[in-house]
Amino acid sequence: MELKTQSDWVARSLRSVWHPCTQMQHHETIPLIPVSRGKGAWLYDHEGRRYLDAISSWWVNLFGHANPRINAALKDQLDTLEHAMLAGFTHEPVIELSEKLSALTGHVLGHSFYASDGASAVEIALKMSFHSWRNHGHTDKQEFVCLKGSYHGETIGALAVTDVALFKDAYGPLLRASQTVMSPDARTAAEGETAADVARRAAADVERLFIERGDRIAAIIIEPLVQCATGMAMHDPLYLQLVRALCDQHKVHLILDEIAVGCGRTGTFFACEQAKVWPDFLCLSKGISGGYLPLSLVMTRDEIYQAFYSNDVTRGFLHSHSYTGSPLACRAALATLQIFEEDDVLNTNRVKAERLTKALQPLAQHDQVRNFRQRGMIWAFDAIDAPKDFSRRFFATATEHELLMRPIGSTVYMMPPYILSDEEIDGLAANTLAVFNQVMAG
Ligand SMILES: Cc1ncc(COP(=O)(O)O)c(C=O)c1O
């Protein structure tokens, strides 16, 4: 007989599923939560308990679980075309999505190349950058630059431009060396310095490196405005302007990884709009499918596209993934973009963000909290003298308060879906305070 209770699902999962980014032994003490269904901002377990998805299920969900509009689009797409390969064939959802995304950049980034997960998009951007220089005869441009604390994914190439020791160190011998420059993290401001001053200092570090070895550097890769995985490190948009200018001056590509910060997360549809710059490559994933299906893509300028356009097959970009441009995933993305248009999402988010920031003031002013920060629909603060195992204890305690939250080290953050009601916003703030106080009390 099939087992159906909550604890049976846990036991069966632990017997056969290897969960991501987890030391599995921790599940001897930390509960694994089997989700039976989702609705709006909430996930429900098999015993009827619910959890407010305050981190959008790893930053992917924008308009809630089981969103009726995205569901309807997907059901229609299922009955039309579930999948067709994208080499030699094309289809309506991928064409419309590429056109709409291009239009959102004022057609500066005219072509989109598709993959599935974020890390694959990063791999593509790195390979494309190197290969386009090569096609132009600049074969020495083989190096990549990343920022201190950067995170671009877990595959070998993406990990090489990631600077989070916990994820990277074990695989050090497998990874190609990259150059690491200072992070513009505004928290590192010295006494009397502004975030813009830190941005200038960090850009000077890039300039130093470009002067020294710009002829060997293919690209610099940056998470614009917020370096999320390192602990929601935020910086001044000025940094992106300065680096864009340096890239132009030294002939280095600018790759902006908007996998976490794109799709309205920072207040504008693309984070780089706040700096009024466009990159040479823009990576998008996570929220673009509304959090429904794995979809990632790299948008690029027509000059880059032209560098591959030739009668010589080896000058082409011969990269592929089986599910490249999945019609279902692209249709989910189109439904997501339609919600942005129909609901004036960026403006309504502003109102929601103001309310949550206000409701979080007791935490912002808390004497065990520093660096309370917010950009768009991202909030974060750092616990002062956080107890051992703070993050795991916070996660477990949060579940007891109907919250799904996973602090990064001693940084507590929120990245909720864009559909929270006023009541949910107030509940999120009040419960986060309660969880924080309980965990800090030990
Ligand atoms: C900025 C950034 N780049 C890349 C990735 C990797 O995306 P994926 O986990 O879909 O491979 C992430 C994931 O968190 C991310 O935050």
* pLDDT one-digit tens code per residue, 246-288: 999 999 999 999 999 999 999 999 999 999 999 999 999 999 9
Q: Given a cut of 60, is residue 372 above it in pLDDT?
A: yes
Contact 185, 114 (CB under 8 A): no
Q: How far apart, in whole angstroms, are the C-alpha atoms of residue 19 and residue 261?
A: 25
Helix (H, G, I), strand (E, B) or coil at 399: helix
Q: How far is CA 185 from CA 194, 235, 346, 358, 409, in A?
A: 11, 5, 25, 24, 16
Torsion of CA 362, 367, 373, 376, to 10 degrees: -10
pLDDT tens for each residue of 420-433: 999 999 999 999 99
pLDDT score at 2: 58
Mean pLDDT of the chain: 97
pLDDT score at 30: 87
Contact 56, 41 (CB under 8 A): no
pLDDT tens for each residue of 183-207: 999 999 999 999 999 999 999 999 9
pLDDT range class, residue 442, cuts 50, 70, 90? confident
Q: Percent of the chain scored above 70 by pLDDT?
A: 99
Q: Which of 56, 265, 286, 298 to mutate to test the pocket of ligand 1 (most atoms within 8 A of CB)?
A: 286
Which H or E element spans position 368?
none
pLDDT range class, residue 3, cuts 50, 70, 90? low
What domains lie within the chain, and their CATH numbers?
33-66+345-440 (3.90.1150.10), 71-342 (3.40.640.10)
- The one-character DSSP state at 51 is E
Mean pLDDT of 301-326: 97
Tell me the residue type at 29. T
- The one-character DSSP state at 174 is G
> Among candidates 342, 347, 408, 411, which has minimal Cα distance to 376?
347
Cβ contacts of 327 within 8 Å, gap of 6 or more: 77, 80, 81, 82, 83, 84, 91, 92, 93, 94
Residue 296 sits at φ, ψ, to 5 deg, of: -140, 160
Dihedral sign from CA coordinates of 358, 259, 183, 211: negative
Q: Is 313 exposed, middle or buried (0-12, 13-18, 19+ CB in 10 A)?
A: exposed
Q: Is 17 exposed, middle or buried (0-12, 13-18, 19+ CB in 10 A)?
A: exposed
Please give the distance, rounded to the nearest whole angstrom, from the Cα atom of residue 341 to the centre of ligand 1. Answer: 25
Contact 101, 94 (CB under 8 A): no
Mean pLDDT of 382-403: 96
> Among candidates 147, 129, 150, 127, which has minimal Cα distance to 138?
129
Dihedral sign from CA coordinates of 55, 59, 63, 68: negative
Please give the distance, rounded to the nearest whole angstrom, from the Cα atom of residue 160 to the centre of ligand 1. Answer: 13
Please give the distance, rounded to the nearest whole angstrom, from the Cα atom of residue 279 to the centre of ligand 1. Answer: 18
Which atom of ligand 1 lies at the shortest distance from residue 229's CA? 16
Mean pLDDT of 290-305: 98
pLDDT tens for each residue of 40-78: 999 999 999 999 999 999 999 999 999 999 999 999 999
Number of H helices, E strands in the chain: 15, 16
Residues near ligand 1 with C-beta < 6 Å? 117-119, 122, 151-153, 223, 228-229, 257, 259-260, 285
Mean pLDDT of 391-414: 97
Please give the distance, rounded to the nearest whole angstrom, from the Cα atom of residue 152 to the centre of ligand 1. Answer: 5
The binding site for pyridoxal 5'-phosphate consists of 118-119, 257, 321-322
Please give the distance, rounded to the nearest whole angstrom, from the Cα atom of residue 7 to the centre of ligand 1. Answer: 31
In this structure, the residue with its CA closest to atom 10 of ligand 1 is 118
